[in-house]
Amino acid sequence: MNRNNLMGLFETQEYISSESHEWDVPLDAKDKIERMVQKYNERAIKMGYNDSILDFDASSLTLRGIFVPKTEKTSWLAKRLEDGRNADLSGDIMRILALCNKVCPYCHSQIPALAKKCEMCGKKLIEKGYIRQDNEVMSQESDMKEFTVEETKEVAQHLKYELFDKPIAAEVPEGVTYYDTVLAFFNDFIAKQKEKPKDDVSMGFTLDFDKMDSADTENIQEDDLRLGVSSFIIQNEFFSWYNDYKPLFEEKVKSGSPQIFIQLAPSDIDLDKYIALCEKYKISYALETGINPMLKFNYKELTFSFNYDAEAAACFFCYVADTLLSVPKDTPVDAFISSDRSKNKAQKEFKKTYSFSAKDYAMGATFLLKDKITGK
């Protein structure tokens, strides 16, 4: 089986959550799959996914089940953590299905459970992330056209750039107390790239629980405005879903110089306000629009480029946090910087899963918050 014909993580998540499925278990993999299913079910129950239990019938060598992803959270940070848990359990099921088979609905041949196309009859079972059901592909092409934009420099169907030579530092709003802390972290972010020039480096901001009362940390709600500092995702490269999984601002990324790229969540940000901000302060940006390949909703995503100007990036952070996200001026800010893989590996993982670092970021934020609260 050609590896390119096997589903990635989020194609698998869509497949196993579309309806209840039945798979055939090879006799020589029976014991291993039985152990894997037992371990998965224990984790699923512990994490509250009681509707996602798998049923393994050892006598008939049949595995049945459906995965029901959680969609309960409303705040951006909580949703990212929820997405991370969904992806985590989906990954467990994907590893189980990698050992199983299924019956092609067209020619009834035995094929790998994760196959996107039957190699016997040539029929496609999944197309561009859309599960093929009742001989029809669920197409959202009309929705995609809704977000077509007039492009300054077009490099893909749903991607445009607006480029400026050098960003101008925005005014730091009066009374903001966290500017120096944020600037120090951006300088550390640049230093980490100089230390590891071939690595994919990311940074996320969170609250500094060490500077908060214990009672305050225990009572934080999902809609706490201070959590707005976690809306900034900072990396030295982001990839494009619609431009062959290549890095955005590819020339800058390949130049070898440290880079600061920022994305903001949630994805339904007021584009006009942020684009006007970019025009005013000469901030280069990439605007990508289309359909999220994991969750199948229309999305608009802005990526801001600051070259290696830590001051401009820190000023942008403070201006947006205060003016557009209403983060309190005295919010205690902390951050974490990660560089655990090469740029090449990061691109390969993005291409494979369609969701670069979403799980990593969610899990990283989970561990950081847990460590801050428990003191471990």
CA pair distance 13, 234, nearest whole angstrom: 26
Return the pLDDT at 338. Answer: 86
Residue-level pLDDT, tens digit, the chain, 376 residues: 566 788 877 788 889 998 999 999 999 999 999 999 999 999 999 889 999 999 999 999 999 999 999 887 666 556 666 777 788 898 899 999 999 999 999 999 999 999 999 989 999 887 544 344 433 333 333 333 333 333 344 443 478 899 999 999 999 999 999 999 999 999 999 999 999 999 999 998 988 888 888 777 777 777 788 988 988 999 999 988 767 788 999 999 999 899 999 998 754 568 889 999 999 999 999 998 776 555 455 667 899 999 999 999 999 999 999 999 999 999 999 998 988 788 888 777 776 655 434 444 444 444 445 444 444 4
Sheet containing 126-127: order of strands: 126-127, 130-133, 136-137
Report residue 358 as tokens: 């979403």
Residue 57 in 3-state DSSP?
A: strand
Return the pLDDT at 134. Answer: 37
Contact at 8 Å (CB) between 236 and 306? no
Q: How many CB atoms lie within 10 A of CB 293?
A: 19
User: Minimal CA–CA distance to 50: which of 40, 60, 64?
Assistant: 40
The dihedral through the CA atoms of 125, 131, 137, 140 has a sign that is: negative
Please provide the DSSP assignment of 240-257 as one string.
-TTTTTPBTTHHHHHT-S
Instruction: Report the phi/psi class of residue 63: left, alpha or beta, with left for phi > 0 and alpha for psi in -120 to 50.
Output: beta
Nearest-10 crossing angle of helices 76-97, 30-46: 160
CA pair distance 276, 320, nearest whole angstrom: 12
Return the pLDDT at 62. Answer: 97
Contact at 8 Å (CB) between 52 and 66? yes
Please provide the DSSP assignment of 84-107 as one string.
HHHHHHHHHHHHHHTT-EEE-TTT
Contact at 8 Å (CB) between 99 and 29? yes
**Per-residue model confidence as pLDDT tens digits over 161-178:** 999 999 999 999 999 999
